[in-house]
Amino acid sequence: MTPEIRLVDPLTADVDEHHELHLAVSKVDYPNVAPPTREAVLIRLRNPDVDLGESVAWTARVDGRLVGALAAQLPVDGNEHLGMVRLVVHPELRRHGIGTLLLHTAAAALRDRGRVTVEVSRVESNSPGDRFATALGFRTATTSVFQLLEFAEVDPDIWDVPTPLGYRLVRWIGQAPEHLVESYARARHAIGDAPPGGSAWRTPTWTVDRVRPVPRPLSIWQCPLINDLQTRAY
């Protein structure tokens, strides 16, 4: 079985087949978390995290079927050495070298762009993903604890509290309103003070221009496969 690795444009990707892939992965890897909706997968494909920079993606197919995907983002503002990677492989086809081939392909392209370190997230301890990352030379840079809140199990009256003196609540859908965008940028910058641990990521300065980014086209890369990129996982 030889997977076909292809650089793809996330804007034209088939959302349904990506949703199917992520549903299968979520069911096995994150059984206690609500599975991703089609809309969530669509947003991830079309609108990647603005603070993580330009996005590029590869897919792996076997006999035309989507069996793996890797998305890499290229942050700037002091993070030009770093690539942020999300990698998934269908549970039915793991341990066939698909994830390794995807990672090696992306590593070559990232190195050509001056990225010497990659970081991946949501790697649970003692999981297949943990063992995969360790086998490829990743090391744990920092750990996080995720907590879940089940609304149906909590008395909503405990949230019925008055707005603190000097504050007011504002709600919007979509982009931050123009009259708030500057203060919104300041707030985004202020909350970026979490200790990075051993992560190579450095929180950039949030400005209005970062909140209102200029769209950048997808870069088309061609590269050989290599296996000597310094890697980290967290």
pLDDT tens, residue by residue, 172-224? 888 889 999 999 999 988 887 777 777 877 777 888 887 886 444 444 344 44
Assigned domain for 66 exists: yes
Q: How far apart are CA 58 and CA 18, in angstroms?
A: 12
Give the global pTM. 0.73
Most confident segment among 13-22, 78-87, 133-142, 196-205: 13-22
Assigned domain for 194 exists: yes
With residue 6 as reference, give the H or E element that holds it: strand 4-8
State the CATH number of the domain containing residue 172: 3.40.630.30
Q: Give how many domains the chain has, as a whole number.
A: 1
Q: Which two tokens stand for residue 3?
A: 């997977």
Assigned domain for 183 exists: yes
Contact by Cβ (8 Å): 212, 51: no
Closest by alpha carbon to 106, among 63, 44, 59, 67? 59
Assigned domain for 108 exists: yes
pLDDT score of 163 more than 80: yes
Assigned domain for 191 exists: yes
Assigned domain for 78 exists: yes
Assigned domain for 21 exists: yes
Q: Could you list the residue range(s) of the whole structural domain that residue 209 is in?
A: 4-216
Over residues 133-141, the mean pLDDT reads 90
